[in-house]
Amino acid sequence: MSHKRIPKRRVAMAAGGVVALGAAAVLLPSANASQDGGSSDDAAAPRTLKAADAPDLASRLAGLLGDAFAGSYYDADEQRLVVNVVPGDDDQVIVRAEKAGAQVREVDNTMGELRDGARTLKSRATIPGTSWAIDPRTNKILVTADSTVTGAEWDRLESTVQGLGTGMATLKQSPGTFKTFASGGDAIFGGGARCSLGFNVTAGDGAPAFLTAGHCGVADDQWSEAQDGPPTATVDQAVFPGEGDFALVRYDDPATQAPSEVDLGDQAVPIVRAAEATVGQQVFRMGSTTGLADGQVLGLDATVNYPEGTVTGLIQTNVCAEPGDSGGPLFTQDGLAVGLTSGGSGDCTVGGETFFQPVTTALEAVGATLGDGTGAGAGQAGDGGAGAADQAGEENAGGADADGGGTGQAGEDAGGDTGAGADGDGVGGPDDAGDPGDTGDLGDGTGAGAAAGSGPTG
């Protein structure tokens, strides 16, 4: 059987060069670095853990603590999950949270009160150019208005925020304008719009497909990899505005090779699975206009009032983006797919707020899968290597092939370096002392977790 081979897009990074290079310096050397995480609930508390493990612990604690749970966030400096607790009649909630491995902080506002406040904003202040999300770091609702919200609309928003009560919300104005980013760039083209491919996925019937922004999917039903080129993919499902901003787009050729990776222009980052975002988590965004940028997650379940309508359930970040970046991937340094670029304000010169569609929600809605859903690409113990979740002290840890064998070149330090090397690049991992290893030599393998063949990449 012949396989259609679509060349990788070589993403121009000139527009966001300084930001892109800075992000790459953070991302690539530590792509396979391990962190010291506890393995059981009776570990010393608070324990350190990777950002990727924080959502699972937060979810467990939300169920364990009940009404006392008031949100959580990841402290990247301390590598700990901080859990907000509202003291009540049960004086054991703090003990339970600490035993589970979290750092506990007592706060005033319950999640119920904060959610009630968000509902009040929705009913009284759904104004184009506004957004709100619960910020667990301040234990308040973060309300933002763009530069178009003035006069009577600003007064109505300000009055609504004040009516929530003291200590319930903060209000700030952004100098930019909330908008979707479906123009500019050079990645995928349709109906006069240009967007970015998010993540390659497998549709429910096993066909190759990809995720992108919903507002791109409603702009046109056929997309090409070249401006004025022949269509190569067709929209299957799209949601925008409403409960999300995502689209599933099927490749027209069912033999298309669609590896699970993010193309950085000169190399690729393997994507192993989808994951929930955590407030405080460091994330990276790739877009066809600005290239690579990084920042932090600021809020979850955000509501954004675009000119086209209201979108709910988004991730709020301080990662910059510009027109053409719409639909592009938001991911972590260890290869977890987190979001799809939706829109925001500002640019990569002055900064601003950017909102992302959670990948997990999109996958569930369209019935698609990414990777194997459980972290495919990690090598199996004893089979030659560990993939994205390398353990210190293992040698020749590259991306795993079908039997877990590493294909990337080993790093230079003995006893603990890892070969990440998408497209054959080796990246040093942690040494025995836990410090970053040296940059590995260029390898000739396929890189960590990279799928066979070359095809469209996110």
C-alpha separations of 322 from 144, 194, 196, 297 in Å: 19, 12, 11, 18
Q: Select which of 326, 347, 413, 425 is catalytic.
A: 326
CA distance 15 to 317: 20
Two tokens, residue 221: 């039903």
Question: Is the Cβ–Cβ distance between 157 and 172 less than 8 Å?
Answer: no
Q: Six-digit token pair at 272?
A: 């192993």
Q: What is the 3-state secondary structure (H, E, C) of the chain?
A: CCCCCCCCCCCCCHHHHHHHHHHHHHHCCCCCCCCCCCCCCCCCCCCCCCHHHHHHHHHHHHHHHHHHEEEEEEECCCCEEEEEECCCCCCCHHHHHHHCCCEEEECCCCHHHHHHHHHHHHHHCCCCCEEEEEECCCCEEEEEECCCCCHHHHHHHHHHHHHCCCCCEEEEECCCCCEECCCCCCCEEECCEEECCCEEEECCCCCEEEEECHHHHCCCCEEECCCCCCCCEEEEEEECCECCCEEEEEECCCCCCCCCEEECCCCEEECCEECCCCCCCEEEEEECCCEEEEEEEEEEEEEEEECCEEEEEEEEECCCCCCCCCCCEEECCCCEEEEEEEEECCECCCECCEEEEEHHHHHHHHCCECCCCCCCCCCCCCCCCCCCCCCCCCCCECCECCCCCECCCCCCCCCCCECCCHHHCCCCCECCCCCECCCCCCCCCCCCCCCCCCCCCC
Q: One of 131, 215, 342, 347 is an active-site residue; which one?
A: 215
Identify whether 326 is a catalytic site residue: yes
Catalytic residue among 245, 325, 334, 347: 245
452 near 423, Cβ under 8 Å?
no
Active site residue ranges = 215, 245, 326
